A and B are shown apart, each in its own frame.
Chain A
Amino acid sequence: MNPFLLFIQQLVNGLRVGSIYALVALGYTMVYGIIRLINFAHGDFIMVGGYTLAFTVPLMVAAGMPAWLAVVAAIITCAITGILVEKLAYSPVRRRGNRMSSLITAIAMSLLLENGAQVLFGANPRGVGTLFTLPNIGVFSGTTLLTIVLGALVMIALQLFVNKTKMGRGMRAVSEDKEAATLMGVHVNRTIAITFAVGSALAAVASLMYCAQYNQVTTTMGSMLGLKAFVAAVLGGIGVVPGAMLGGILIGVVESLSKAYIGTLTGGVITSAFSDAIVFAILIVVLLVKPAGILGSNAGEKV
């Protein structure tokens, strides 16, 4: 195969992974934008969505409906999980603890969901079944294209929601200053709960495309995926909706290209086995050089 075609193929591979990261990163960025909390459990919301799909897809198929409609069940389950986690854990801790407590609670929720799922469903992976039968268009697989299109649609919808609706204005107000938002008549707790519901629903959409791409769910599927998507969100500019999309695609492409070429470029010193390390190295560089990310604006440190 000629090197140029090979390079294009690797770019396409990158898009394939990156489109999933982008979808996940959108959910991260939503939550972080409002409450300034790395929701460590976001990756596990995707796992929750994935398992919901694994259980409802056979029902859908049996009922003669298209398999992907199972996403409705996944959205509902994820949104409920998100609101429960927020109401039962994050919110009370936020009100009486400090930032550190919130972070620890997020880690604890992630552990809780992962280990809870392991107790419920066992360690064995579970197949999801075919969700879409899409034709390939050129070098692109149908699933990859659909993921990118869906990601773009979600991004636009989110952008409109945040910028044009009343609720969106409320979210931005809460993000800026909770006290002031309260004074301006924004129902802060409800706004945050809705943010969680939307963010978690996005996780369900991400889990649909993840399952379409990879066909299998495991209880730990969310942890590495979540971390990489978080890196993507930071790279793009956390809290910035288009940034998450951009960051996701970029991380996917960088990951794929580094897997493909780093071995040859470094003479075998660094191999494709370093790909996870490379993603974290990107995070470190971004955080040190431009913590606000590509599309974010640098804000001075608040006292």
Chain B
Amino acid sequence: MKKFVSLALAGSLLVSLVGCGASSSAAPASAASGASSAASTSAEISLGVTAPLTGSLATYGESVQKGVTLAVDEINAAGGILDKQVKVTFEDDKGDSTEGANSFNKLVSEGVCAIIGSVTSGVTSGLATLTDENGMLLITPSGTADTLTEGHPSVFRACFNDSYQGSIAAEFAAKDLGAKKVAILYASSDPYSAGIAASFEAACKTYGLDVVAKESSSSMTDTDYSAQLTNIIAAGPDVIFAPYYYDTVGPYIVPQTRAAGYTGVLLGADGWDGTTDTMVDDKSLYNNTYFINHYAADNPSEEVQNFVTSFNAAYGSTPNAIAAMSYDAVYMIKTAIEKAGTDTTADIVTAMTGMEFSGVTGSFKLNDLNTPEKPAVVMEYVDGNLVFKASVGGNG
């Protein structure tokens, strides 16, 4: 029995080895076909997407997948781009930079003309380096780290960046909320949280806000913030700025802040999008909380409402910001291809640089850093519902 099982184990490993061999021999064929499609002779336009479809960030990957699929289906139903149908390939990067690189390289060798991804700044910054070698067009729907597009001419994004977001939050706190004293709670180990906290703190000086307390947690997934919150509340801030993700904000940060006796304003960034799904039973705790976001689903504009309706028809839910930005990313590529008149990667990059675009997340022009310049929206939670509060910053 024992021998048999160990033989079986060895056998299964062997089989997988052979499997590898088989697949590697299949790869060059697709690479060859890829080369031809990049020369814009193929009958379809192929796009790649790398996103965390599994793993702890799978929710974000799902949103990307839904947003992109909806956009591509719409485009194909309307006759495609330059009379070519659009084909999209999804690869899973699990939110890991090495896996992300493998996904990216795989998509490149399959000959896609542009890649959408990835969701997080961490993975995207690795991919940005890879674009230097092959000039692949990379457009991240939601990577907000400032440095992502610096020195990488073919990397774009469909969202604003961290420093903009931080300064918008400070501006909103100072002007709209009339705050004087603010406190910051952030995760020092997380690039997103630490990045926004730093830019918020810098912007506080500009807007005359006094940072009375700054506390950090060791990770984004800590469950207990009471020690930090006690210190923060003792400093008596008018606003607590807490750039965390929705899975921490809903169950931990907001209830623990309220339990510690603080009834003032809590302010967050775009990571708060989705908190409605993670709230505790008592929704009144979330009153008086705001966050900066990329778009508002209750924006009455026809474009947004059409998008929300068709998204709801397809998936039975309201699209979140990442889905909206992924949707826009596809249309940004479409606009650029139509502007260039070809689907050769280099030409699309040229066409997209400095491009003007109007989508569900706003009308904007891409600036020198390939980043949209547009107003941000501030959302408010009222008894657990997401309500549009204000539009801040930008040129609009």
Residue ranges of A at the interface with B (Cβ–Cβ < 8 Å): 1, 6, 9-10, 13-14, 16-17, 122-125, 127, 129-130, 141, 214-216, 218, 220-221, 224-225, 255-257, 259-260, 263, 271-277
Contact = CB atoms under 8 A, between A and B. Distances in A.
Interface string B209-241: 000000111110101101110110110000000
A256 B59 contact: no
B227 A256 contact: yes
Contacts, number: 92
B226 A123 contact: no
Interface of B: 54-59, 187-189, 215-219, 221, 223-224, 226-228, 230-231, 233-234, 247, 250-252, 255, 259, 277-282
A123 B55 contact: yes
Contacts of A276: 218-219
A214 B223 contact: yes
B226 A256 contact: yes
B281 A271 contact: no
Contacts of B219: 276
Given A123-B59, A220-B221, A271-B188, A260 B251 contact: no
A224 B227 CA distance: 18
A1 B247 CA distance: 31
A129 B234 CA distance: 30
A275 B230 CA distance: 16
A257 to B, nearest CB: 8
A127 B279 CA distance: 8
Given A123-B57, A124-B59, A273 B216 contact: yes
The 7 A-B pairs of least Cβ separation, nearest first, read: A216-B251, A259-B227, A273-B188, A13-B226, A273-B216, A256-B227, A123-B58
A260 B228 CA distance: 6
B357 to A, nearest CB: 31
Contacts of B250: 127, 216
A24 B281 CA distance: 26
Contacts of B227: 10, 13-14, 255-257, 259-260, 272
Contacts of B277: 124
A262 B150 CA distance: 36
A209 to B, nearest CB: 13
26 contacts: A13-B226, A17-B226, A123-B55, A124-B59, A124-B247, A125-B278, A127-B278, A127-B280, A130-B280, A130-B282, A214-B251, A215-B255, A218-B221, A225-B223, A256-B226, A259-B227, A259-B228, A260-B231, A272-B215, A272-B218, A273-B188, A273-B216, A273-B217, A275-B217, A276-B218, A276-B219
Nearest to A16: B226
Nearest to B282: A130
Nearest to B226: A13
Contacts of B252: 214, 216
A16 B231 CA distance: 16
Contact of B230 (A6, A218, A220, A271): A6
Given A9-B230, A17-B226, A127-B251, 4 more contacts: A16-B224, A123-B55, A123-B57, A263-B215
Q: Determine which residue in A127, A218, A259, A271 has the highest number of CB atoms from chain B within 10 A of its CB, and name it.
A: A259
Nearest to B234: A1
B281 to A, nearest CB: 5
Contacts of A127: 250-251, 278-280
